[in-house]
Structure 1
Amino acid sequence: MGFEKIVNIAYARGACKQRDAISMMKTERERATQCLDAFLHVVTAIPGIDNHDANALAQAFGSIEAIAKASKGTILESTDLSSDKAERIFRFFRDPQYYLSPRIH
């Protein structure tokens, strides 16, 4: 009877550890999704940049800081964006008159 009790305790602890691992994975997945959503929201705020372009930038650079530091040539080499869109992104992060100007849609 002692052996069965040990097996039940070991099983219960293993199941608890497995549930903890699963819940941690769910939490990490939710956090990653929220970060990507925030990234897409910020990058699509640049005039002329859509979700496809934002996803390409996310895959190529991984963070907004990296995009802000990238040159126009680096953006063109790393993504499939057009020269015009790369120029818009480059100017957005460097030219205050560009990103502070009012937008009329």
Structure 2
Amino acid sequence: METTPPHSIDTREDSYPSRVYPEPEFLKRCDPIVCDFEAPGPLSTAQLSQFERDGFLILPAFFPETDIATYKEEIKRLCASREIQQRPEAILEPNHCELR
């Protein structure tokens, strides 16, 4: 299995062009985000509409604080791992060795 060293240049195309354009710009969506507002599910119609409009939802207290602390520690561990940084699917910040 071939790995990419952490300081090499990654030639894969960034799927988030907003990161590489000199000026930020909004990209028009080609497809709807929410396909069926009437389908049964855990989100209300208002939440689905907000998600369709904004592209995100804020769900306070979705995870317990104890879980969040555990997730943050695991993220720190993964970001600091040279093994993770060298994996082909890892994307590092340009001119840095920070994991995205």
TM-score between both structures, scaled by the size of structure 2? 0.23
> Could you tell me the TM-score, scaled by structure 1's length?
0.22
Please state which structure has a larger fraction of its residues in helix: 1
Larger Rg: 1
